[in-house]
């Protein structure tokens, strides 16, 4: 059974710092991996999607990498801002069923 | 586009009552997903549809839960009878292909007293 783990569960950093969020999954037979952002009381916003054949994706200050063989992904946020404060969730789509399996998320606080 | 629209945003009802949650996906999206989010279990997929047909309902917790998609622009998730442990935030999401990002609605916060 696929399990997705995110470390750390919470992170507090000063504004301007570069940071890395980690995601690991137990079964490498994934179709793709997505990083989402969730603001309080809101739904999820897709940030980056990496296909299983890709190694990384970039969008603005965000860079996500995927190492399928080791079951790991990282989300790198450059020059963090208070507006980046949110919960970040990692999710994998299973190869066989196309179901999205979520990690429990990392709560990020960027202090001004 | 208005995005995925869910209603109601909040629902408070008493145990044993029927609850119906509604979702309008983004026009043109062939896939529709229902999720439940709780503190204990995080985000879980309940069921998903492709072209209005249920593909995988293995995440539906019990027979008290049912979902329908009568047409491409509307889906419902029904709980009958509701129980306090059903209290959660229920999200609907849609995508145009299985390997494309899912777009989420703002969710329905359900409280069963």
| Burial bucket for residue A73 (CB in 10 Å: 0-12, 13-18, 19+) | buried
As beta bridge partners, residue A100 has: A93
Strands (E), B8-112: 10-13, 19-24, 31-38, 42-50, 53-56, 65-71, 74-79, 88-95, 103-104, 108-112
Q: Is the dihedral of CA B55, B108, B4, A52 positive or negative?
A: negative
For chain B, say whether A43 makes contact (Cβ under 8 Å): yes
Main-chain phi, psi angles of B86, to 5 degrees: -85, -5
Pick the closest to residue B42 from A85, A70, A90 (CA basis): A90
Of A32, A42, A102, the CB nearest to B42: A102
Cβ atoms of A64 and A74 closer than 8 Å: yes
Average pLDDT, chain A: 93
Cβ atoms of B19 and B79 closer than 8 Å: yes
Confidence check: pLDDT of B28 > 90: yes
CA distances from A5 to A23, A32, B34, B96 (A): 6, 16, 22, 27
What's the average model confidence in pLDDT over B93-107? 88
pLDDT of residue B26: 96
pLDDT digits (tens, 9 = 90+) for A76-110: 999 999 999 999 999 998 876 677 899 999 999 99
Shortest Cα distance, chain A CAs vs residue B101, angstroms: 6
Confidence check: pLDDT of B11 > 90: yes
Shortest Cα distance, chain A CAs vs residue B15, angstroms: 24
Cβ atoms of B35 and B45 closer than 8 Å: yes
Cβ atoms of B48 and B32 closer than 8 Å: yes
pLDDT of residue A46: 92
Of B44, B48, B104, the CB nearest to A43: B104
Q: Do A99 and B99 touch (CB under 8 A)?
A: no
pLDDT digits (tens, 9 = 90+) for B31-84: 999 999 999 999 999 999 999 999 999 999 889 999 999 999 999 999 999 999
Half-sphere exposure of A107 (CA within 13 A, CB side): 3
Considering only CB atoms, which chain B residues are within 8 Å of A39? none
Other beta carbons within 10 angstroms of residue B23's beta carbon come to 25
Q: Do B104 and A103 touch (CB under 8 A)?
A: no
């Amino acid at each position: 059974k696929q399990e997705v783990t995110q470390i750390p569960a919470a992170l507090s950093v000063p504004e301007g710092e570069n940071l890395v969020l980690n995601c690991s999954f137990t079964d490498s037979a994934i179709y793709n991996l997505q990083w989402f952002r969730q603001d309080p009381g809101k739904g999820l916003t897709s940030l980056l999607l990496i296909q299983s054949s890709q190694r990384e994706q970039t969008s603005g200050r965000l860079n996500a990498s995927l190492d399928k063989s080791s079951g790991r992904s990282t989300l790198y946020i450059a020059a963090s801002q208070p507006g980046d404060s949110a919960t970040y969730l990692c999710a994998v789509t299973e190869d066989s069923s196309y179901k999205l399996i979520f990690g429990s998320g990392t709560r990020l606080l960027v202090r001004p | 586009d208005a995005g995925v629209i869910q209603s109601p945003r909040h629902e408070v009802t008493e145990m044993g009552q029927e609850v119906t949650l509604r979702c309008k996906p983004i026009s043109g999206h062939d896939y529709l997903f229902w999720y439940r989010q709780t503190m204990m279990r995080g985000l879980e997929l309940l069921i998903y549809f492709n072209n209005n047909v249920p593909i995988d309902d293995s995440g539906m917790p019990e027979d008290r839960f049912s979902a329908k998609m009568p047409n491409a622009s509307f889906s419902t998730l029904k709980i009958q009878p509701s129980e306090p442990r059903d209290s959660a935030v229920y999200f609907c999401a849609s995508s145009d292909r299985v390997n494309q990002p899912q777009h989420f609605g703002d969710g329905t916060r359900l409280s069963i007293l």
